[in-house]
């Protein structure tokens, strides 16, 4: 069994303690009461009070930047969403003094270390083996792009009317044009406005952060051994797990990745996200129950994603690349030189349920999983038994079955 970290930290160049006031994010309100910050100050000391204050300020700035115009139809929905986020952030900060889940260690891998090199080589070969191009004018991406462009254009109009002392307009225009390019993927093939969908390509890993979170690690290890014991006690279940793992045609597999342990179905999988969300996951773990329903016109009753409600993972870094936009300008590929992030996570699949069609699991919430089943997966381009996904997809409904071990930061390059 390959065991990168923990417990081995030989390749980590430096350590620091991390404490995240954002985690585990439900986050955000108009403002948190002063008593919350004061309570933190009394319990955690001046350093942590400063962290909480900065988190609150950042949160309110983020809300203000994203707020639609007063006459925007989505304003009421926006305010309701942020009130919900605010309640959670308040609860998170108030319970921080007694919540050890907010206290964890991080360290950066040296870029000349063997582990850094192995991870970069694995991700690069992963992309070379199976390049990926996002579906043209994919409904979910286009829907989000239209919503985002409407908000950006409303903010630009407001700046034109009220002035722009902080010179925000140029960046907002960049983001608006990026959204327009997504929308124009659906233009006629004869139109000059037609754009190409995102595709994978050459990149380099710039940094790798290691997460050492004792609470999350103990919880993950206990759940892994619980699943292993359950499978070992029943030969049929154990054989079914082996058969499921054999069915998976991994995007790329070497001696150490992605499979770690066949006995429990433990693997390394990828979860693309922003740096902000990565910090929240590192401190409070994934939240499968946050999976939202998708209001798609093809369904009379809105459903979840293709595998149901939960936390999604992929073994294809090429696919992650096509869904990761620039944190600064929101474009798929740009010259901003800003790091993008992906979490390389340990995941215990256990005995998974196979999603045989793209719709067979959509209606299942986070509580819906048959006895002796531990996860859900869909196989990329598997025509037998009607299983058809663009690439392998995996889903867990129990957060204890994932440990966010490594946060990998990367940038586009012109060539390999």
Give dist(CA 90, CA 52) in Å, integer: 10
Determine, yes or no, domain membership for 106: no
Q: Are residues 217 and 343 in the same domain?
A: yes
Q: Are residues 227 and 367 in the same domain?
A: yes
Using the 3D structure, point to which of 71, 98, 125 is the last residue of a domain: 98
Q: Residue 358: its pLDDT value, please?
A: 62
159-168, 240-249, 360-369: range with lowest mean pLDDT:
360-369
Determine, yes or no, domain membership for 192: no
Angle in degrees, 0-180, between the axes of helices 169-183 and 139-162, rounded to the nearest 10:
150
Q: Residue 353: its pLDDT value, please?
A: 87
Q: Are residues 180 and 251 in the same domain?
A: no
Tokens (6 digits) for 156: 């630009």
Q: Are residues 396 and 344 in the same domain?
A: yes
Give dist(CA 387, CA 44) in Å, integer: 52
Tokens (6 digits) for 101: 């889940």
Strand positions, DSSP E, 196-286: 203-212, 259-261, 266-273
Number of domains in the chain: 3
Q: Are residues 221 and 182 in the same domain?
A: no
Q: Are residues 216 and 363 in the same domain?
A: yes
CB-based contacts of 60: which residues, under 8 Å, 6+ apart? 30, 31
Q: Are residues 338 and 247 in the same domain?
A: yes
Share of the chain above pLDDT 70, in %: 68
Contact between 194 and 188 (Cβ < 8 Å): yes
Q: Residue 411: its pLDDT value, please?
A: 96
For the cut 60, the answer to whether the pLDDT of residue 97 exceeds it is no
Q: Are residues 279 and 360 in the same domain?
A: yes
For the cut 70, the answer to whether the pLDDT of residue 332 exceeds it is yes
Contact between 294 and 304 (Cβ < 8 Å): yes
What dihedral do alpha carbons 276, 278, 282, 288 form, nearest 10°?
110
Per residue in 146-160, is it b (16+ CB within 10 Å) or e — as a string? Answer: eebbbbbbbbbeebe
Give dist(CA 401, CA 260) in Å, integer: 14
Using the 3D structure, point to which of 41, 66, 98 is the last residue of a domain: 98
Tokens (6 digits) for 174: 């960049």
Average confidence score pLDDT of the chain? 77
Q: Are residues 92 and 154 in the same domain?
A: no
Q: Residue 199: its pLDDT value, please?
A: 94
**Once rounded to an integer, what is the mean pLDDT over residues 382-408?**
80
Q: Are residues 44 and 172 in the same domain?
A: no
Give dist(CA 130, CA 128) in Å, integer: 6
Tell if the pTM clears 0.85, that is, is over it: no
Q: What is the residue range of 144's domain?
A: 139-186
């Amino acid at each position: 069994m390959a065991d990168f970290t923990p417990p081995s930290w030989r390749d980590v160049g430096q350590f620091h303690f991390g404490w995240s006031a954002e985690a585990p994010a439900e986050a955000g309100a108009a403002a948190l009461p002063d008593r919350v910050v004061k309570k933190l100050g009394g319990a955690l000391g001046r350093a942590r009070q400063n962290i909480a204050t900065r988190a609150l300020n950042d949160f309110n700035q983020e809300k203000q930047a994203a707020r639609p115009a007063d006459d925007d139809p989505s304003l009421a929905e926006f305010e309701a969403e942020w009130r919900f986020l605010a309640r959670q952030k308040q609860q998170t900060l108030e319970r921080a003094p007694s919540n050890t889940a907010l206290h964890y260690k991080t360290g950066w891998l040296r870029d000349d270390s063997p582990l850094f090199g192995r991870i970069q080589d694995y991700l690069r070969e992963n992309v070379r083996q199976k390049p990926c191009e996002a579906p043209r004018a994919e409904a979910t991406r286009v829907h989000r792009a239209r919503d985002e462009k409407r908000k950006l254009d409303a903010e630009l109009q407001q700046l034109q009317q009220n002035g722009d002392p902080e010179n925000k307009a140029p960046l907002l225009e960049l983001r608006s044009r990026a959204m327009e390019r997504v929308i124009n993927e659906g233009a006629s093939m004869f139109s000059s406005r037609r754009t190409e969908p995102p595709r994978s390509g050459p990149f380099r890993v710039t940094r790798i952060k290691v997460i050492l979170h004792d609470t999350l690690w103990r919880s993950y290890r206990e759940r892994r051994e619980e699943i292993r014991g359950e499978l070992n006690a029943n030969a049929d279940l154990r054989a079914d797990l082996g058969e499921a793992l054999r069915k998976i045609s991994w995007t790329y597999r070497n001696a150490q990745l992605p499979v770690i342990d066949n006995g429990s179905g433990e693997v390394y999988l990828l979860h693309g996200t922003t740096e902000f969300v990565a910090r929240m996951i590192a401190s409070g773990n994934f939240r499968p129950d946050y999976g939202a329903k998708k209001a798609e016109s093809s369904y009379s009753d809105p459903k979840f994603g293709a595998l149901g409600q939960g936390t999604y993972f992929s073994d294809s870094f090429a696919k992650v690349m096509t869904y990761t936009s620039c944190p600064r300008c929101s474009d798929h590929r740009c010259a901003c030189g800003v790091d993008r992030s992906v979490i390389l996570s340990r995941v215990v699949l256990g005995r998974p349920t196979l999603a045989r069609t793209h719709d067979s699991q959509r209606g299942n919430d986070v509580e819906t999983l048959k006895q002796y089943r531990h996860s859900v997966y869909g196989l990329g381009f598997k025509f037998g038994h009607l299983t058809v996904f663009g690439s392998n997809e995996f889903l867990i409904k129990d957060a204890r079955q994932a440990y966010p071990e490594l946060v990998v930061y990367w940038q586009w390059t012109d060539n390999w």
